[in-house]
Amino acid sequence: MRLTERGLPVLERRLRGTRFLSQQVRSALNSPESTGIGCWSLNPYVGCEFGCSYCYARFAHRYLLERARDAGRVSAKEFGELRGRGGFEGFERHIFVKDRSAVLAALERDLPRVVSRYQRGEHHPVLIGTATDPYQPAERRFGITRAVLERLARLPPLHLALITKSPVVTRDAELLARLGQRHQLTVHISLISTSRRLIRWFEARSPMPHARLRALRKLTEAGVNAGLLVAPILPGITDGEQHLRRVLAAARRHGARFAHPSPLRMYRAVRPVFLPVVERQFPRLMSRYQAAYRRAEDAPRAYSRALQARFARLAAEVGLPTDDRFGYSSDVSRSPEQLALWEPAPS
C-alpha cells in the first residue's frame, strides 16, 4: 500500500490508469430522510469504473473530494488531479474503496435503527448501488458488497434491493438466492439498449448487453428475484417503440421477472459529459435537449408520463410486469399525451 501526498492510501493501480484509494467511514447507511428517495441507501464505493456519460452520481465523488480538501487530507494540487482536467473525469479514474472493516463496524451501529423502524411499520427498502455500481470490477478485488450482503443475511426480514450492470453479480448468485429466502430481495440489472454501438457511445467502459442479459438469466435460474432496469431512457435515442420492445423482449427471453423504466435526468454534473456525446453522435437532437432540460434536471412532465405509458404497454405485450413480486413498482401511469418533443428514435 502506498500513500498519496497527504496520506490517502492507494490500494491498487490499474494499467489503464485507474487508481483505488482507501476511504474510512463512520456510517454505512443513508436514511430515507437524508436521501430524499424513499429508501436506505448504501454504496460500497465512491466513483465507478464504468463511467457512464449520463451518470448522475458524479456529484458524490466531487463532494467527497471537497470534504477531503477542506479537512486538509488532500492538497489543492491533488484535489485538482483527483477531480480530473475537466472537473469530472476523476469519477471513473480515482475510485474510493470504503474500508471493509469500517463498513461492517458502521453497519453494527446503523442496522439496529433500520430494524427498529421496520418493527414500527416503516418498510423503506435498503438499496445498494444508488451512487455507484456495487459490482463494478473493483468488487472482484475488494469484496465490500459481498461482505455487506453476508451481514444483511443475519437480520430479520427486510426489503433489500440492488442495482448493477455488471456480470460480477453472478459470483454471489447463491448468496443472493439465500437472501431472497429470508428477505424481500429485488435485483435490478441495468440496461438501456441491446445495441452494442449505443453502449459504446454512452457507456464506453461498461459490460456489453449480452453479458448483462446472461447475468440476468443466471440470477433468475438460481432463484433470485431479478429484472431489468431500463434507465435512463434517452429521449430521441432509446425511447422509440421498436427500441424499447427489443430490450424488453430480450429481458423476457432471459428470464426477467419484471422491468422498470426511468427517463434521463440531466444533473449539472452530467451535462459536460453526456451532451458532447449527443452532439457528436446525434447532432440533430442537441437543440431539443438544450430546450427540454434548460431549466430543470427532469424530463418534461408530459414526456415522462407518455413514456411511462408507452413502456407499460410494451412490457405488457411481451409479458413482463412493471412491478416486482413484492408490489414495488415504478411510477407507471397512462396518459393521452404524445412523445412529440422528440423525433422517432433510430433503430
pLDDT band at 58 (very low <50, low <70, confident <90, very high): confident
Beta partners for residue 226, in sequence order: 187
Supply the pTM of this predicted model: 0.89
pLDDT tens column, 133-177:
999 999 999 999 999 999 999 999 999 999 999 999 999 999 999
Give the CA count within 13 Å in the CB-facing half-sphere of 186.
Answer: 25
CATH architecture, domain defined by 165-329: Alpha-Beta Horseshoe (3.80)
Would you state the pLDDT for residue 241?
97
What rounded mean pLDDT belongs to the chain?
88
pLDDT tens column, 259-294:
999 999 998 889 999 999 999 999 999 999 999 998
Would you state the pLDDT for residue 91?
87
Residues 6+ positions from 79 with CB-CB distance below 8 Å: 65, 66, 68, 69
pLDDT tens column, 286-317:
999 999 998 889 999 999 999 999 999 999 99
Q: Which amino acid is at 244?
A: L
Q: Give the least confident one: 40-49, 246-255, 329-338.
A: 329-338
Distance between CA atoms of residues 263 and 342, nearest Å: 13
pLDDT tens column, 67-94:
777 777 777 777 777 777 776 778 888 8
Q: Which 8-state DSSP code applies to residue 104? A: H
Beta partners for residue 187, in sequence order: 162, 226
Query: Are 143 and 43 in contact, with CB atoms under 8 Å apart?
Result: no
Residues 6+ positions from 182 with CB-CB distance below 8 Å: 153, 157
Name the 3-class secondary structure at 262. Answer: strand
